[in-house]
């Protein structure tokens, strides 16, 4: 097997007495769509923040393309090709959609004309073409989520970290976004997503890791995860697996 | 391109004023207004485009003024060289304060307070150290020769300050078309997002601070040459910190023409207040306060924003503008 693009190696994080992440390890293969799921408060976003350089872990390492990137500043990671979106979208509200995406594009294109051209191309690809001149603050939730995605994509990342891009979307918007994300992967960008919308996770992912109480409790294909008793119990409580089916497996 | 043409047009129009038989009083008024505009242009780069609100631009203004004056008076340096050195000194002070403040991650009101504190410390130090002339101040010797940066006619001073303002306008116009300017605006809008998109926040802020400080320092250098006197309350006093931020905020912060529009309005109001109320102390400050409240409440993007909005409304035939531009969407 080839070396994974991202390797999270026994990463731990704690805030005061709260152990948010406990020695979590997982990896993301190049060209894949990998999902990180888990109940609320499992530590997903913390783990994401650590990977993207917004937090330093108290223990463990993160490797990107074989290099140790633990604790590297976010802007340096962006230059190396690691981009993230925010769970709560963070647009530059006073700037137009075009300028919003251009900020990302400037990372690879110094000249304004080329950054703008790249931004417009990405906007069209993500279905934001008709909003180009609109201030980002006036967009609907769905469009804001796409904008968040577009900006990250404009930095030409090798690995894209998507933090709940589907949250807050209605079912038809989710359905529309799925092929877009798949297309991004097909163009060569590896994707790691945190997601609560199971429809999206199950249809998109090649591999799923389940985080509960700061620990990775299961990993595998969407089918095996759906049937995993431990996962069902993590979400629904102990004993739920017996009631709702799912194969008992010994840890 | 359009902005640059507008900049050149506006400057050319202002440059003709001395030929229209303007009196010395009018010229003096315009020179001081342009001086404030220049200081405001400096503030506008860091505060207007970068969203880092400094309350202490007096630190840079004063560094420029003092260095220009002291080099001439104590070391016999040529005034033009002193002028250049003053700008460099302002930039250096900006680099030091910026590095300290931004490295410690100060933002918002903390940043404002720290800049204010630096300016105040400099004011107190300048009021006691011998080299600045302490409480007496520094007087530049009268030497009415162009080589000494002193001119018989006010018009010459007027054109010089206008060229300085023009330069700062062109820098602002350029800022709106470069990656550095885009990154700076991104930091104003959302620092975390900017960081995630590969913006080196510390570096961009620091560069903006240095540029901002250098422009405001140029205003200080000009002040020294025009009035030929500097003391600690003039150079590092809070009056200039306030004027440097009032002008762009009232005129329209983060816009090319904001500071100059604001400076003219603020100065005109100040003079008008003096005519009406005599020399009642603080009346101009009270007027500034009232105008500021009005602007913040009704025209958050200042005079420039108001004009753009009104002209858009006129063009659309009185219909309500569909997309309200503005920082708060």
Q: Is the pLDDT of residue A133 over 60?
A: yes
Beta bridge partners of A207: A34
For Cα atoms B261, B46, B327, give the angle at the middle one, nearest 5 degrees.
70
Q: Is residue B248 part of a domain?
A: no
User: If you average pLDDT over residues B242-257, what whole number do you get?
Assistant: 93
Q: Work out the minimum CA distance from B199 to partner chain A, whole angstroms.
A: 5
Distance (Å, whole) CA A212 – CA A227:
16
Residues of A in contact with B192 (CB under 8 A): 54, 86, 90
Q: Tokens standing for A2?
A: 């080839």
Q: How confident is the model at residue A3 (pLDDT cuts 50, 70, 90)?
A: confident
Are A92 and B200 an interchain contact pair (Cβ–Cβ within 8 Å)? Answer: no
Q: Work out the minimum CA distance from A26 to partner chain B, whole angstroms.
A: 22
In chain B, the number of structural domains is 1
User: Which helix (H) or strand (E) segment is A54 a member of?
Assistant: none
Q: Is B328 on the interface with A (CB under 8 A)?
A: yes
Parse chain A into domains and list their residue ranges: 1-81+159-251, 87-156
Distance (Å, whole) CA B69 – CA B77:
9
Q: Work out the minimum CA distance from B184 to partner chain A, whole angstroms.
A: 10
pLDDT of residue B294: 87
Q: Is A140 on the interface with B (CB under 8 A)?
A: no
* pLDDT above 70 coverage of chain A, percent: 95
Residue-wise pLDDT for B159-216, tens only, equals 999 999 999 999 999 999 999 999 999 999 999 999 999 999 999 999 999 999 999 9
**CA torsion, points A140, A144, A146, A147, in degrees to nearest 10?**
130
Distance (Å, whole) CA A54 – CA A86:
11
Structure-model confidence comparison of residues B253 and B289, the more confident one? B253
pLDDT of residue A186: 94
Considering only alpha carbons, which residue of chain B is nearest residue A139? Answer: B329
pLDDT of residue B143: 87
Residues of A in contact with B182 (CB under 8 A): 99, 102-103, 106, 112, 115
CATH code of the domain occupying A1-81+159-251? 3.40.50.300
Beta bridge partners of A62: A8
Q: Is residue B167 part of a domain?
A: yes
Angle between helices B283-298 and B258-277 (to 10 degrees): 140
Residues of A in contact with B174 (CB under 8 A): none
Q: Tokens standing for A242?
A: 């017996």
pLDDT of residue B295: 85
Residue-wise pLDDT for B290-324, tens only, equals 888 888 888 888 999 888 888 888 887 654 444 43
Count the neighbouring beta carbons within 10 Å of the beta carbon of residue A152: 28
pLDDT of residue A244: 64
Q: Is the pLDDT of residue A245 over 90?
A: no
pLDDT of residue B320: 44
Considering only alpha carbons, which residue of chain B is nearest residue A149? Answer: B197
Q: Is the pLDDT of residue A225 over 50?
A: yes
Q: Is the pLDDT of residue A248 over 60?
A: no
Residues of B in contact with A78 (CB under 8 A): 196-198
Sheet holding A67-68, edge to edge: A18-28, A6-15, A59-64, A67-68
Considering only alpha carbons, which residue of chain A is nearest residue B326? Answer: A94
Q: Is A117 on the interface with B (CB under 8 A)?
A: no
Q: Is the pLDDT of residue A157 over 60?
A: yes
pLDDT of residue A2: 67
Q: Is A104 on the interface with B (CB under 8 A)?
A: yes
pLDDT of residue B328: 40
Considering only alpha carbons, which residue of chain B is nearest residue A89? Answer: B193
Q: Is the pLDDT of residue B77 over 80?
A: yes
From the list A54, A78, A94, the residue facing B197 with the nearest CB is A78
Residue A38 · residue A45 · CB < 8 Å: no
- Could you give the ipTM of this predicted complex? 0.87
Distance (Å, whole) CA B266 – CA A96:
31
3-class DSSP assignment, residue A207: strand
Q: Is the pLDDT of residue B326 over 50?
A: no
pLDDT of residue B300: 81
Range of the domain at B79: 2-236
């Amino acid at each position: 097997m080839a070396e994974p693009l991202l390797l999270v190696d026994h990463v731990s994080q704690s805030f005061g007495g709260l152990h948010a992440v406990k020695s979590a390890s997982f990896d993301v293969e190049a060209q894949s769509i990998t999902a990180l799921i888990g109940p609320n408060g499992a530590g997903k976003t913390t783990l994401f923040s650590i990977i993207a350089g917004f937090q330093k872990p108290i223990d463990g390492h993160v490797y990107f393309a074989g290099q140790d990137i633990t604790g590297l500043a976010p802007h340096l990671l962006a230059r190396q090709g690691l981009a993230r979106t925010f769970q709560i979208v963070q647009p530059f509200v006073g700037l137009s959609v075009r300028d919003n995406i251009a900020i990302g594009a400037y990372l690879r294109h110094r000249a304004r004309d080329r950054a703008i051209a790249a931004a417009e191309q990405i906007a069209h690809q993500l279905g934001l073409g008709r909003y180009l001149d609109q201030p980002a603050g006036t967009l609907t939730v769905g469009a804001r989520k796409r904008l968040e995605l577009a900006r990250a994509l404009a930095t030409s990342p090798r690995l894209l970290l998507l933090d709940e891009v589907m949250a807050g979307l209605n079912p038809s918007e989710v359905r529309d976004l799925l092929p877009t994300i798949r297309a991004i992967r097909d163009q060569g960008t590896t994707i790691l997503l945190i997601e609560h919308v199971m429809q999206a996770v199950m249809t998109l992912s090649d591999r799923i890791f389940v985080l509960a109480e700061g620990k990775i409790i299961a990993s595998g294909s969407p089918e095996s995860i759906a049937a995993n008793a431990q996962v069902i119990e993590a979400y629904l409580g102990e004993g739920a697996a017996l009631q709702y089916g799912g194969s008992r497996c010994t840890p | 391109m359009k902005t640059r043409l507008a900049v050149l047009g506006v400057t050319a129009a202002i440059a003709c004023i001395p030929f229209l038989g303007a009196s010395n009083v009018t010229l003096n008024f315009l020179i001081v207004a342009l001086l404030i505009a220049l200081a405001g242009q400096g503030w506008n780069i860091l505060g207007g485009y970068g969203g880092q609100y400094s309350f202490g631009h007096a630190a840079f203004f004063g560094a420029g003024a003092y260095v220009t004056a002291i080099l001439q008076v104590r070391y016999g340096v040529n005034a033009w060289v002193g002028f250049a050195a003053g700008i460099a000194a302002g930039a250096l002070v900006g680099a030091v304060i910026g590095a300290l403040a931004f490295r410690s991650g100060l933002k918002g009101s903390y940043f404002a307070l720290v800049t204010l504190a630096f300016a105040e410390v400099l004011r107190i130090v300048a009021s006691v150290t011998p080299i600045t002339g302490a409480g007496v101040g520094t007087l530049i010797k009268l030497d009415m020769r162009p080589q000494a940066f002193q001119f018989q006619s006010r018009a010459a001073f007027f054109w010089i300050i206008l060229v300085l303002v023009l330069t700062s306008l062109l820098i602002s116009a350029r800022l709106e078309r470069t990656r550095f300017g885009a990154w700076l605006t991104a930091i104003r809008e959302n620092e975390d997002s900017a960081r995630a998109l590969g913006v080196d926040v510390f570096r961009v802020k620091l560069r903006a601070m240095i540029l901002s400080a250098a422009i405001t320092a140029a205003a200080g250098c000009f002040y020294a040459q025009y009035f030929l006197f500097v003391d600690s309350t003039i150079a590092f006093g809070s009056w200039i910190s306030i004027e440097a931020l009032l002008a762009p905020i009232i005129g329209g912060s983060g816009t090319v023409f904001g500071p100059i529009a604001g400076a003219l309005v603020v100065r005109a109001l100040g003079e008008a207040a003096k005519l009406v109320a005599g020399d009642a102390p603080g009346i101009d400050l009270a007027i500034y306060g009232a105008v500021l409240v009005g602007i913040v409440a009704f025209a958050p993007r200042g005079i420039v924003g108001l004009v753009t909005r009104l002209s858009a409304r006129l063009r659309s035939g009185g219909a309500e503008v569909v997309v309200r531009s503005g920082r708060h969407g």
